A and B are shown apart, each in its own frame.
Chain A
Amino acid sequence: MLTIRIIPCLDVKDGRVVKGVQFANLVDAGDPAEQAALYDAQCADEVCFLDISASQDGRGTLLDSVRRTADRCFTPLTVGGGVRAVEDVRALLLAGADKAAINTAAVARPALIDECAARFGAQCIVVAIDAKETAPGRWEIFTHGGARASGIDAVAFAIEAAERGAGELLVTSMDRDGTKTGYDIALLQAITSRVRTPVIASGGAGTLAHLVEAVREGGASAVLAASIFHFGTYTLDQARRALAGAGAPVRTV
């Protein structure tokens, strides 16, 4: 049986892991390659590396940092940030990424999803959706690291992205990001009930119960978290045990 994935996320800015609250107030949490090696040793199901400076500063993804990080783990690695074209995905894969996450560029030009899926296969393309609740039960996509409102409905875009060939949807609640108050379950439900594509829950994990909630109630196939793992609040083993205790399938390592 396919197991629920627990994914530590490295938010990287200028080559360092950072973690902020609602995409701002960043604090340093270490070297990405070192962090990735620690998670590899703990048997993380995947590691996610998001270059959060890429879109804002208009720079390409930090391929060198990706290379050093990939060199330290035999764990599947998803890399996002600054992907604008098919060739950017190719460069990430050559640097050691297994999957590429597309965010801003896919919102600006959704056909990029089709192009990347056709070239590399859907299983290689993660579409990252950063959403903010703008009215009860309505979520809007924000791009450029959360700095710009797009006017696009997050649920409608999730459906479109899945139809265009996204292999996974990384759904981040900007309202919850870094607050440790739990994932936005209503947002997850709105998306997981309408697409067949696996959904990765992101934004708001503060306790192990939150991970369980995202899976049991939100319908997520994977749970992504940063602070609770970076700062040693919980180990991956504790997370696995919490999910298993709630009846969710997890890998025995």
Chain B
Amino acid sequence: MGFIALIDAGAGNLRSAVRALLAAGAADVRVTGDPALVRAADRIVLPGQGAFAACMAGLAREDLHAALEHTVRTQGRPFLGICVGMQVLAARGLEHGETAGLGWIGGDCRLLQAGAERLPHIGWNQATPARAHPVLDALAPSAFVYFAHSYVLDGEAGAAWTEHGERFASAVARDNILGVQFHPEKSQRVGLALLARFLSWRP
């Protein structure tokens, strides 16, 4: 039986993510920044709070970045990025200057154009899947999930959409890579259902 590597990039609410994954049915979740463990993991979850640059700096430690590239991109193991863990899938982050991202999805991570709405975007809002997806189907047709962010991943790659002043990508998906802007670990029943689908996902 394999395990899930929950990546510790230095600023996340890791305990919440661990508890939610266990409640969703995971047998073994290891919080780690150890490249060897990342390479051995069945699935990778990158939770994230904090700034884009801080998260990328956390991933740059001790060849962690190389281990992630290998496990996710070469081996094709299922990857879930949460919040900033989704944003770093961009090619560039534009929060406090320009920072290179992982680039696995592409596009820019830029400030949400909230218009007359308040910022940060904090609270429960609806995420509507753009198409069928084995994991994101947990949101269909349009579930309330919990958001806490000011930046969004800009691009064409929306796999789910949400409105707050503008329509932004609340999820992105490509092959074995999935990113969600909201917090499934804090989205009660819907969030746990989404995590359970991620755990049995065979992309």
Name A's B-contacting residues (CB within 8 A): 1-5, 40, 43, 45, 67, 70-71, 74-76, 90, 93-99, 118-124, 167-168, 196-198, 221-222, 251-253
B119 pairs with A197, CB closer than 8 A? yes
Q: Is the interface of B mostly helix, strand, loop or mixed?
A: mixed
When the two chains form their complex, are residues A2 and B125 in contact, meaning their CB atoms are under 8 A apart? Answer: yes
Given A3-B123, A123-B150, are A118 and B118 also a contact pair (CB < 8 Å)?
A: no
**In angstroms, how far is the closest chain A Cβ from the Cβ of B175?**
28
* Chain B interface size, under 10 / 10 to 19 / 20 to 34 / 35 or more: 35 or more
Given contacts A70-B16, A93-B49, could you give 16 more A-B pairs where the C-beta distance is less than 8 Å? Answer: A2-B147, A3-B144, A45-B124, A74-B185, A75-B186, A93-B13, A98-B16, A98-B183, A118-B96, A121-B150, A123-B122, A167-B120, A167-B122, A167-B148, A168-B122, A196-B114
CB distance from B183 to the nearest CB of A (A): 7
Q: Give the distance to chain A from B5, nearest Cβ to Cβ, in Å.
A: 18
For residue B95, which residue of chain A has the nearest CB?
A121
8 pairs, A vs B, C-beta closer than 8 Å: A3-B125, A45-B123, A93-B12, A121-B149, A123-B148, A196-B114, A196-B118, A221-B118
Nearest-neighbour CB distance to chain A for B180, whole angstroms, equals 15
Give every chain B residue within 8 A of A4 (Cβ-Cβ): 123
> What residue of chain B has the Cβ atom nearest to residue A219's Cβ?
B118
Task: Report the separation of the CA atoms of residues A149 and B12 in the bound assembly, to the nearest whole angstrom.
Answer: 35
Residue B188 CB within 8 A of the other chain: yes
CB interface residues, B 20-71, toward A, < 8 Å: 20, 23, 49-51, 54
B148–A74 CB distance below 8 A: no
B121 at interface by CB-CB < 8 Å: yes
Question: What separation, in Å, do the CA atoms of A168 and B191 have in the docked complex?
Answer: 23
